Chains A and B, each alone.
Chain A
């Protein structure tokens, strides 16, 4: 049974163990450069970038490794999708598949496209698309008896999951054929396959009430009842061009050792994803201008930023897309998705809690509100909040500590002594990173003035131990350096 979605966050996001559904945030970093014109033909029209209004992401864990086969656990994320974009709604959908930097661009273009195609086929119940994937293996992406067994199990014909067919799996196939009035051969012929695909699709593509749902092909960006011959813009693969996480150079070198392949794959898991974007129904664009190619990477490269290849290469520091905004090579996809919670990195977050005097706070209740979700709990004995599998954007809201005076108001109400913006993008090399570090340490604008006054009297620098932050603090205190408030 797939896991239940976590409660919605205040921003309308929901997460599962294998994905996220979110409202797409406004991309504030996109600048429209305009100029007046006297050319009547060029009448000064400004067309906004295509921007989705919502998204649902399906993580790598919902696919077999190096495969486009969709595992049954995806039910949880499909339920999120049915909520984000109900079948009766008018909003349009488009699917983007992504691979990790292992293998080459061309291979990954095909793999990412196949994953997007598999999801599209599932959502519109096009078993022919799945049969194409079955009949046309691509490297390691070869649908085999393992997948047949998974499907049979899911629809009530139990069999051990094995790569090569044996007596037990053939028996399960026979039972399936018998139960569906098909010729009973025990072989996965095309007729059997298509019916098995259809049954499996209905079994896993369920809404939050557990009822099977499907979209029509005209629910996708092309608006075509027959879909398009190439699949774009309804579904496409982005190869490995848009990683949400890029390793540091040193770690990349370390993990290039074949013995560490498993670790490398694990670290890159956030990059392997399929994202369904939801667009407003009134979007208009000429289909022939859609920039994503169905095949090959040449068309993708035409959409690259000038430094597209550099962006996805390891640099001195590890980078996350939502923190650094400079890991996507494709300009089109970058503009399309900038700031989207569905492009976050699933990771482990550790926060050490202190009170206003810098004293550690073990066992302190907390509530962490992110774009993607809300998490509550207590800090451990080391005063640390350790949260695994969390989609992290650049900032959130952290509340912690009891306020017992109000405890009698409402037994269910959580009241906290502290409630502050928390910044997570602390290992970037941008100019204001120190401001964000100082903010987390509760050294904000007012404190600077206060400390400046104190410094004059006491010549003290506080107890900041981090070198970079201490240096910045010293600049503020000693030289009156101005620093901006990162929350503004």
Chain B
């Protein structure tokens, strides 16, 4: 003991939170990296893509995506820029995880008949596999771990009308075909390069398949619970409203959480079956589901790495109302081990998405005026807050509406320069008002 006054203690480390970047539509951009629709990718054995065929061979459907930009009208990227992009993300911004959506709304796979029923393509276009192989190679090379996300809730996008692919989930036969003919070949490649993959995600935000937001369910002429947008710092207003119109798409195929969960579990089981025969842990692949909400993650299939997304209070005006009438309230929760109702413990989750822009959810009220006004402030403060909450991995959802290649959107990931600066601030522990909030 030293002479007083003196103080002694031991400090043990806890790894800092890792930052992940979400590529908004993943392979849309991935295709652009190799030139428009991969034209500049030198893969002579791979036939060219045909955006007007049932066998298209492009991960991003060549059709306008409701929430994302149009790949046909995007600027071509330079060959090799994907590798450059990942290298830059890792070396300059400390980002070692990326999440990319592959089949997205899946209109790049098969076609629909006049009644809207999904018809599978005669074969899987080899371009899918070629692109995925190349992607895994680059991830292995750069050391950036990938979360490939197989499907997006966009398969039931109402605006697609008769082109929707919700049969992949709602029709058990089509589910099996899809998993056999699309997922399994992708898994073949994945298990050849397990070091490139952080976790295989079966679906992004499956919640929307069974909510009124995607109103292919018989639209009730009854009040629908909602949470209205609230001023920052105020409690959300809970009320009811009536849907202003009824939507009865012709190919209406009703889905419940149970139907969706069956599909999700089928996908998880495919990976688990392969994991069981792997000789070492290093060759196994983790699984995940990109749940929209913490509470949903706590009661539904999660895979081995539970994941949820946090956007406070609302998305696009209507917050979550479950077909059961149950209201969910978004919560940041925490990166700890959580106990489910049945007493079992869920592995500590990671945050798959937090918003970088003000259009995805309300401000984080707990951050007060730190959560503004720039993407830099917002991203930095939200990452610090997520770290304080104990998360080991947090994904930033870029949400940059500006066209790629413009000064405010220089990077294919769609994260603004300001947002990237926010990530850098976080990595460097910088804070404009002095010491950042520690954890």
Of the stretches A152-160, A195-203, A273-281, A398-406, the one at the interface is: A398-406
Chain A residue at minimum C-beta to C-beta distance from B384: A419
Residue A34 at the chain B interface, CB threshold 8 Å: no
CB-defined contacts of A400 to chain B, threshold 8 Å: 11, 13
B-contact 0/1 string along A45-81, CB 8 Å cutoff: 0000000000000000000000000000000000000
- Of residues 103 through 124 on chain B, the ones whose CB sits less than 8 Å from some CB of chain A are none
A-contact 0/1 string along B81-102, CB 8 Å cutoff: 0000000001111101000000
**Is the beta-carbon distance between A348 and B2 smaller than 8 angstroms?**
yes
CB-defined contacts of B12 to chain A, threshold 8 Å: 354-356, 358, 440-442
Of the stretches A86-94, A182-190, A299-307, A446-454, the one at the interface is: A446-454
Q: Known interface pairs A356-B15, A406-B94. Does A446 touch B334 (Cβ–Cβ under 8 Å)?
A: yes
A-contact 0/1 string along B309-331, CB 8 Å cutoff: 00000000000000000000000
**Is the beta-carbon distance between A441 and B337 smaller than 8 angstroms?**
no
**Is the beta-carbon distance between B431 and A406 smaller than 8 angstroms?**
no
CB-defined contacts of A392 to chain B, threshold 8 Å: 7
B-contact 0/1 string along A316-355, CB 8 Å cutoff: 0010100000000000000000000000011111111111
Question: Size range of the interface on A?
Answer: 35 or more
B-contact 0/1 string along A234-264, CB 8 Å cutoff: 0000000000010110010000000000010
Assembled-state Cα–Cα distance A99/B18 (Å): 51
Residue A423 at the chain B interface, CB threshold 8 Å: yes
CB-defined contacts of B90 to chain A, threshold 8 Å: 405
Assembled-state Cα–Cα distance A109/B378 (Å): 53
**Is the beta-carbon distance between A347 and B5 smaller than 8 angstroms?**
yes
Of the stretches A141-149, A204-212, A408-416, the one at the interface is: A408-416
CB-defined contacts of B336 to chain A, threshold 8 Å: 445-447, 449-450
CB-defined contacts of A445 to chain B, threshold 8 Å: 334, 336, 390
Residue A420 at the chain B interface, CB threshold 8 Å: yes
CB-defined contacts of A427 to chain B, threshold 8 Å: 7
Residue A20 at the chain B interface, CB threshold 8 Å: no
A-contact 0/1 string along B371-385, CB 8 Å cutoff: 000000000000000
Assembled-state Cα–Cα distance A414/B430 (Å): 10
Assembled-state Cα–Cα distance A351/B12 (Å): 10
Residue A215 at the chain B interface, CB threshold 8 Å: no
Assembled-state Cα–Cα distance A87/B424 (Å): 40
**Is the beta-carbon distance between A270 and B94 smaller than 8 angstroms?**
no
CB-defined contacts of A369 to chain B, threshold 8 Å: 435
Assembled-state Cα–Cα distance A397/B429 (Å): 11
Closest-CB distance, A385 to chain B (whole angstroms): 9
> Among B9, B13, B96, B390, which residue has its beta carbon within 8 angstroms of that of A444?
B390
Closest-CB distance, A359 to chain B (whole angstroms): 9
> Among B7, B10, B16, which residue has its beta carbon within 8 angstroms of that of A441?
B10
> Among B6, B92, B339, B435, which residue has its beta carbon within 8 angstroms of that of A409?
B92
Closest-CB distance, A52 to chain B (whole angstroms): 19
Chain A residue at minimum C-beta to C-beta distance from B435: A10
**Is the beta-carbon distance between A415 and B427 smaller than 8 angstroms?**
yes
**Is the beta-carbon distance between A11 and B434 smaller than 8 angstroms?**
yes
Chain A residue at minimum C-beta to C-beta distance from B434: A10
**Is the beta-carbon distance between B9 and A440 smaller than 8 angstroms?**
yes
**Is the beta-carbon distance between B10 and A351 smaller than 8 angstroms?**
yes
Assembled-state Cα–Cα distance A318/B1 (Å): 13
User: How many contacts A-B (CB < 8 Å)?
Assistant: 159
> Among B3, B16, B388, B439, which residue has its beta carbon within 8 angstroms of that of A267?
B3
CB-defined contacts of A405 to chain B, threshold 8 Å: 90-91, 94, 96
Residue B338 at the chain A interface, CB threshold 8 Å: yes
Q: Known interface pairs A406-B94, A449-B339, A450-B348. Does A420 touch B431 (Cβ–Cβ under 8 Å)?
A: no
**Is the beta-carbon distance between B6 and A347 smaller than 8 angstroms?**
yes
A-contact 0/1 string along B1-31, CB 8 Å cutoff: 0111111111111111000000000000000
**Is the beta-carbon distance between A351 and B439 smaller than 8 angstroms?**
no
Assembled-state Cα–Cα distance A295/B106 (Å): 87
Assembled-state Cα–Cα distance A63/B387 (Å): 47
**Is the beta-carbon distance between A397 and B390 smaller than 8 angstroms?**
no
Residue B277 at the chain A interface, CB threshold 8 Å: no
Residue A107 at the chain B interface, CB threshold 8 Å: no
**Is the beta-carbon distance between B6 and A419 smaller than 8 angstroms?**
no
Closest-CB distance, B350 to chain A (whole angstroms): 13
Residue B68 at the chain A interface, CB threshold 8 Å: no
Assembled-state Cα–Cα distance A96/B131 (Å): 74
Chain A residue at minimum C-beta to C-beta distance from B335: A446
Residue A418 at the chain B interface, CB threshold 8 Å: yes
Residue B223 at the chain A interface, CB threshold 8 Å: no
Closest-CB distance, A239 to chain B (whole angstroms): 21
CB-defined contacts of B439 to chain A, threshold 8 Å: 419-421, 487
Chain A residue at minimum C-beta to C-beta distance from B96: A405
Residue B281 at the chain A interface, CB threshold 8 Å: no
Assembled-state Cα–Cα distance A422/B96 (Å): 28
Residue A426 at the chain B interface, CB threshold 8 Å: yes
**Is the beta-carbon distance between A354 and B337 smaller than 8 angstroms?**
no
Q: Known interface pairs A318-B5, A408-B92. Does A356 touch B13 (Cβ–Cβ under 8 Å)?
A: yes
**Is the beta-carbon distance between A355 and B13 smaller than 8 angstroms?**
yes
**Is the beta-carbon distance between B92 and A420 smaller than 8 angstroms?**
no
Chain B residue at minimum C-beta to C-beta distance from A488: B388
- Of residues 384 through 403 on chain A, the ones whose CB sits less than 8 Å from some CB of chain B are 392, 397-401, 403
Residue B279 at the chain A interface, CB threshold 8 Å: no
| Among B16, B94, B335: residue with most chain A CB under 10 A | B16
**Is the beta-carbon distance between A251 and B4 smaller than 8 angstroms?**
yes
Assembled-state Cα–Cα distance A392/B6 (Å): 9
Q: Known interface pairs A403-B94, A440-B9. Does A453 touch B16 (Cβ–Cβ under 8 Å)?
A: no
Q: List 23 A-B contacts (CB under 8 A).
A: A10-B431, A11-B435, A247-B4, A251-B4, A349-B7, A350-B8, A354-B13, A405-B96, A408-B92, A415-B94, A416-B429, A418-B15, A421-B439, A422-B9, A424-B7, A426-B7, A440-B9, A441-B12, A444-B14, A445-B336, A446-B337, A450-B337, A487-B388
Across the A-B interface, the 10 shortest Cβ-Cβ residue pairs? A446-B336, A10-B434, A418-B13, A442-B12, A347-B5, A450-B337, A352-B10, A421-B438, A354-B12, A449-B337
> 15 new A-B pairs (CB below 8 Å) besides A245-B5, A405-B90?
A11-B434, A12-B434, A267-B5, A351-B11, A354-B13, A356-B14, A361-B13, A400-B11, A406-B427, A415-B428, A420-B11, A427-B7, A447-B336, A453-B337, A487-B438
A residues near B (Cβ < 8 Å) are 10-12, 245, 247-248, 251, 263, 267, 270, 318, 320, 345-356, 358, 361, 369, 392, 397-401, 403, 405-406, 408-410, 413-424, 426-427, 437, 440-442, 444-447, 449-450, 453, 487
B residues near A (Cβ < 8 Å) are 2-16, 90-94, 96, 334-339, 345, 348, 388, 390, 424, 427-429, 431, 434-435, 438-439
